[in-house]
Amino acid sequence: MAGIRDVAEAAGVSVSTVSQVLTRKRPVAPATRARVEEAIARLGYRPHPGASQLRGGRTGTIALIVPSLTNPFYPLVGAGMQDVLLDRDILLTITEVGSGHRPGTTIHQLMSRRVDAMVAAPFGLTDEDLAALQGADIPFVLLGSPRGGAGDVVHTDDVAGSREITEHLIERGYRRIAFIGGDEDATPTQERLEGYSGALHAAGRDAEAADVVFADFTRQGGHRAASELLAREVRPDAIVAANDLIAIGALDAAREHGLSVPADLAITGYDDIEAASLVSPALTTIENPAREIGRACARLLLERLDADVTDVTRTVVLSHRLIIRESA
């Protein structure tokens, strides 16, 4: 494997000059540059990432930290990031940090030395984790609502989205509208709950505490929570689920209870993952543009890495959209 020294020798220049050609951190005479580039190509030279990193250079890697690989929303965000990273010879790394996996801090300390920049979904991370991430002093995008502090943010307006879908239910005449959240302390749960409560409140009815239950953001969680709701003496005629996976689980439960959707029970989702249009009845949901979110994150990061932006913190809010299908 050719090293920088081999290249320098082949091009008849010093090691420093080769490095300058690579990092573009100071001017190099065009003729010299050409000779070096030729040598690099001829020898198939590739910088050793560990060495550059050690000496203070970059790793050429950007990380995406997600709470789940099984929720297709997150891989799609990754695909969006790839869309913009591909031209730049930057590697995207996706890591799952499930709640209760390994101590968050550990992984973030690791990450902070292996990557040039990262985007993380805050959900599942503790405040300390977040502080560590932000303290890592590398470009950083938060995927989701701003939560205490620094860093760029890309998100959609979950409160508004949830309000809209709840209003849709109210307009359709549903009387007793329940809410199934994901993990209770997760920001998406909180915000979507807020939108739901807000819509009810604006319609002159208040959310009954009993009508709000929490699960986790999975199909199984939704199934469990919906089953509980449907087993009650007086049961809801509509369910606002905090994401599509939960809604699909609720659909499972409705089927088991012999309920027809949306006649006996309306169910709405959130995110519009591909499965939302595949289930029967197809889900009425809020489109959460995962791929676009990924693209926006990557662009923000690149701008920081290119030092086009320095101090200002940017918040990008992408639009959501109510998608009315069959389930409500």
Residues that bind DNA (CB under 7 A): 1, 3-5, 12-20, 22-23, 25-29, 31-33, 45-48, 51-52, 54-57
Question: Which residues partner with 143 through β-bridges?
Answer: 154
Min. distance of Cβ 139 from DNA in angstroms? 16
Centroid of chain to Cα 211: 28
CA-to-CA distance for 310 and 137, rounded, in angstroms? 12
Say whether residue 53 binds its own copies (CB under 8 A). yes
Min. distance of Cβ 100 from its own copies in angstroms? 10
> Quick one: what does residue 40 bind among DNA, its own copies, none, with the CB cut-off 5 to 8 Å set by partner type?
none
Q: Per CB under 8 A, which region of 7-15, 165-173, 187-195, 276-284 contacts its own copies? A: 276-284
Nearer to DNA, 34 or 231 (CB): 34
Say whether residue 263 binds its own copies (CB under 8 A). no
Min. distance of Cβ 298 from its own copies in angstroms? 13
Min. distance of Cβ 181 from its own copies in angstroms? 21
Within residues 88-117, the interface with its own copies by CB under 8 A covers 89, 91-96, 98, 101-102, 106-107, 109-111, 113-114
Residue with tokens 């695909």: 79
Min. distance of Cβ 87 from DNA in angstroms? 20
Min. distance of Cβ 43 from DNA in angstroms? 10
> Quick one: what does residue 59 bind among DNA, its own copies, none, with the CB cut-off 5 to 8 Å set by partner type?
its own copies
Min. distance of Cβ 68 from DNA in angstroms? 32
Min. distance of Cβ 328 from its own copies in angstroms? 17
Strands (E), 101-245: 117-120, 140-143, 152-156, 177-181, 212-214, 238-241
Q: Which residues have a Cβ under 8 Å from the Cβ of 5 and sit 6 or more positions away?
A: 15
- CA-to-CA separations, 179 to 75, 153, 154, in angstroms, rounded: 26, 27, 25
Read off the tokens for 285: 């949901």
- Asked if 156 and 293 count as a contact pair (C-beta separation under 8 A), the reply is yes
CA-to-CA distance for 157 and 318, rounded, in angstroms? 8
Q: Which of 29, 69, 210, 317 binds its own copies (CB under 8 A)?
A: 69
Residue of 184, 146, 214, 191 whose CA lies nearest to 286? 191
Q: Count of residues binding its own copies (CB under 8 A)?
A: 46
Say whether residue 54 binds its own copies (CB under 8 A). yes
Nearer to its own copies, 32 or 105 (CB): 105
- What angle (nearest 5°) sits at the alpha carbon of residue 55, between those of residues 53 and 59? 15
> Quick one: what does residue 96 bind among its own copies, DNA, none, with the CB cut-off 5 to 8 Å set by partner type?
its own copies
Say whether residue 51 binds its own copies (CB under 8 A). yes
Q: Which residues have a Cβ under 8 Å from the Cβ of 37 and sit 6 or more positions away?
A: 21
> Quick one: what does residue 279 bind among its own copies, DNA, none, with the CB cut-off 5 to 8 Å set by partner type?
its own copies
CA-to-CA distance for 203 and 218, rounded, in angstroms? 30
Residue of 176, 164, 163 whose CA lies nearest to 264? 176
SS3 content of the chain, % helix, strand, coil (to 5): 45, 15, 40
The residues that touch its own copies, with contacts defined as CB under 8 A, are 44, 46, 48-54, 59-61, 69-70, 72, 74-76, 78-79, 82, 86, 89, 91-96, 98, 101-102, 106-107, 109-111, 113-114, 219, 248, 274-275, 278-280
